[in-house]
Amino acid sequence: MKELFDLEEHRLREEITRRRAKRVLIQLPEGLKPQAPRLAAIVEDAGATVIVSADPCYGACDMALSEAESLGADLLIHYGHAEMLAGRQLPIPVLYFEARTNINVKATVERAVELLKPWTRIGLATTVQHVHMLDEAKDILTRAGKTVHVGDAGGTMYSGQILGCDYSNARAISGDVEAFLFIGGGRFHAIGLFLATMKPTIVADPFEQKAYSIEPDAQKIIRKRWSEISRAKETKNFGVIIGLKPGQCHIEAALEIKEDIEKNGKKTTLLALREATPTALSQFPSIEAYVDTACPRIALDDSSNFRKPVLTVKEAHVMLGKVTWDDLLKEGVL
């Protein structure tokens, strides 16, 4: 039986041997963690001691660099994402294994064509697991009479690729298309695609073998976000969240929004943390609302778990009157 994801075991073994690595830390996203024992055995067989990170991993922004250093590892193996920190000086070598899928997308994209009938100009977007299948999807849409656009804004490794926090490829073509087709599993990235472009978004999910519109889910989030902004307007004491993960640390943005909030007569406290969880934030009872400068999806996807409003920087600008809610909806909530 063909594996669902290509874990590149042969390359893994070769890299460990070639680099003569002695101690390796493997980092996997939640969906690939069941493969950890098998991958660890390959690394050990290649002659290195291996440690598997059991912490959550949310993306290429969430590199376990400090953990690798503290464990004395001389190599970090990062599965499930494409390189994001290119050009940045890293304290330890990192090897990326993208874990591309072997699943066929043809049948699911053909189902999606039926839902795309109202529109002619279509934008294609996907995650790194499916970027090698975009050409096939484009051919199917073209044969169905669609004009297909694939964005390449230069912010990601591949054309058409989107991240949970980076939809620049989609935004680059948003003015040229009437709707988007997202290829991939789950609703996380598809909701983000809709929120970033405010364009109709159809999902072709090859894992579930179904196609559907993500708009009902996204509209629920939009209504919730306006409610959170309205609640935050009534508060006086804010916490500004600074992420400590390598790709989520935006100290200048935090200092800027702190200044903006204080100009409006409110108080702020800067909070640095790796995981912005409800439990962590509950330790500050005097703070009434938060602005998140780390991953914007913390506020959007976990808002129901927080007792107090958690806004993105864009939403904070609406609260402070720097932009209107209508303008934000036009340019994209995310």
CATH classification of the domain holding 234: 3.40.50.11860
pTM score: 0.89
Name beta bridge partners: 268: 238
**Residue-level length of the chain:** 334
Residue whose entry in the numeric block shows the structure tokens 């040229």: 176
Question: Of 49, 72, 97, which marks where a domain is finished?
Answer: 97
What is the token pair recorded at 268? 């702020």
Parent domain of 321: 222-331
For 225-290, the DSSP string reads: HHHHHHHHHT--EEEEEEE-STTT--HHHHHHHHHHHHHTT-EEEEEEES---HHHHTT-TT--EE
Strands laid side by side in the 147-150 sheet: 147-150, 121-126, 179-183, 201-205, 210-213
Residue 170: which CATH number?
3.40.50.11850
pLDDT computed for residue 293 by the predictor: 93
23, 78: one domain: yes
CB 227 within 8 A of CB 284: no
Tell me which residue of 167, 140, 127, 130 sits closest to 151, measured CA to CA: 167
285, 308: one domain: yes
What is the token pair recorded at 33? 């963690």
pLDDT computed for residue 2 by the predictor: 60
263, 325: one domain: yes
Crossing angle of helices 215-233 and 188-197, rounded to 10°: 70
Ordered per-residue pLDDT tens for the chain, 334 residues: 468 899 999 999 999 999 999 999 999 998 899 999 999 999 999 999 999 999 988 888 888 898 999 999 999 999 999 987 565 678 899 999 999 999 999 999 999 999 999 999 999 999 999 999 999 999 999 999 999 999 998 888 899 999 988 899 999 999 999 999 999 998 989 999 999 999 999 999 999 999 999 999 999 999 999 999 999 999 999 999 999 887 788 899 999 999 999 999 999 999 999 888 889 999 999 999 999 998 877 877 766 788 999 999 999 999 999 999 999 888 888 7
Q: Please give the biggest Cα pair distance in the chain.
A: 63
pLDDT computed for residue 87 by the predictor: 58
Question: Of 161, 178, 213, which marks where a domain is finished?
Answer: 213
CB 125 within 8 A of CB 152: no
116, 82: one domain: no
Domain count, the chain: 3
CB 243 within 8 A of CB 295: yes
- φ, ψ of residue 290 to 5 degrees: the values are -130, 150
CB 58 within 8 A of CB 31: no
For 72-112, the DSSP string reads: T-SEEEEESS---STTS--SS-EEEE---B----HHHHHHH
